[in-house]
Amino acid sequence: MTRRSITLALSIALASTIAAAAPAAAARPFRDGDAYTVTFFDDFIFELCGIETMTTLTERWTFTDFGDGRMRLHVTRTFVPDDPRIPIEKGAGSRFIQPDGTEIVVGTPLLLFDPDGGVRALDAGRIVFGDDITSHGREDLSIEDLAGDLSSYYCP
């Protein structure tokens, strides 16, 4: 199982939850969530660094539909590779969806801990998606970095 397939499976589960919550326009908010831990061969690290390692993902998510068009999704996750040379990756964030379609994401979507201690990379802050995209906060990884070679961040 790869990081991409895990993310895809979670996206499908969340889409099903959101679809089930849509008719629930009652006075009480609809809430759903899950927590799980899985260990898998990390294709991402193998393809990027040439290192074979098993990685354990621990993830928790909570979805809330307030019934008036507002929704919130909160996710926390940690990737811990068995190989101690690879950084531990953590992330936490909340996505708020407004009735007008505006989305606001806040949190720390990416935090890489250096195996020798300290923080290797941090992306944190607030992003507003609407007619314009507004971003505030610390971004160690640019869009170009994320689309390019990440080996300097993940590989020993």
Q: pLDDT for 108-134, tens place per residue?
A: 888 999 988 888 888 878 888 877 777
Q: What is d(CA 55, CA 39) in angstroms, rounded to the nearest whole number?
A: 5
Q: What is d(CA 76, CA 63) in angstroms, rounded to the nearest whole number?
A: 12
Question: Over the stretch 64-111, which tens digit does the pLDDT of each residue have?
Answer: 999 999 999 999 999 999 999 999 999 999 999 999 989 999 998 889
Q: How far apart are the first and last CA of the chain?
A: 23
Range of the domain at 126: 3-154
Split into its structural domains, the chain has a count of 1
* Backbone torsion region of residue 115, taken as left when φ is above 0, otherwise alpha when ψ lies between -120 and 50, otherwise beta: alpha
Could you tell me the pLDDT band of residue 13, with boundaries at 50, 70 and 90? low
Write the DSSP assignment of 2-28 as a string of letters.
Answer: -HHHHHHHHHHHHHHHHHHHTT--SSS
